[in-house]
Amino acid sequence: MFSLDKQTTDLASGAISVGVGFTAWLYVATQQQMKTSLFTKQRLSDAIAGAVGPDLAQKITGTSTGAKMKLAPMGWLNKVTIGGIILKVANIFTRKYTEKYIDSVPDFIDAAANGLIAGGTIGGILVDPAGMTETSKEDFLALGNTPTPRGREYSSRISVLV
């Protein structure tokens, strides 16, 4: 039987939870940008802008963003959060069987589930406004086939123009 001490298990569980939570938050907050890689500076900047505002996001990442803060109270209910809840429930049922063989696995699964739930909830509530998809070379937002100039003088509700 493989066993880790309590301190190592707690440290690893915390790292798993934070890592999975960060990735889930970044994924959910920038779902409109699915054509770009998840870990790009622009997606990170847009996710931060959705949480703390575009000015502070630009200071943190050094990348300008057209994303604005937008709260979606029902955004917590998304596929990432539901996946975390399902993983947590499944872990409860399997905990008694896996602890016989490897005692720290249920703790790691629980940490991943907690990260999915937390990241999915935060990313779903503090979302990137719809339409903030990708930035082209001309600094335009691609809304379907209609490019719309990005700038402070334009509303974040530019979908009315399309």
- Distance separating the N- and C-terminal Cα atoms of the chain: 61
Radius of gyration (C-alpha) of the chain in whole angstroms: 19
Q: How confident is the model at residue 159 (pLDDT cuts 50, 70, 90)?
A: very low
What would the mean pLDDT of 42-61 be, rounded to a whole number?
86
The model's pLDDT over 75-86, given as tens digits with 9 standing for 90+, comes to: 888 999 999 999
pTM: 0.69
- Residue 128: what pLDDT? 56
- Residue 19: what pLDDT? 93
Greatest Cα pair distance in the chain: 64
Q: Helix axis angle, 6-29 relative to 79-98, nearest 10°?
A: 160
What would the mean pLDDT of 46-53 be, rounded to a whole number?
85
Q: Is residue 131 left, alpha or beta, with left meaning phi > 0 and alpha meaning psi from -120 to 50? A: left
Query: Which of 139, 88, 137, 142 minimizes the C-alpha distance to 110?
Result: 88
- Residue 134: what pLDDT? 44
Cα separation, 79 vs 116, in Å, equals: 10
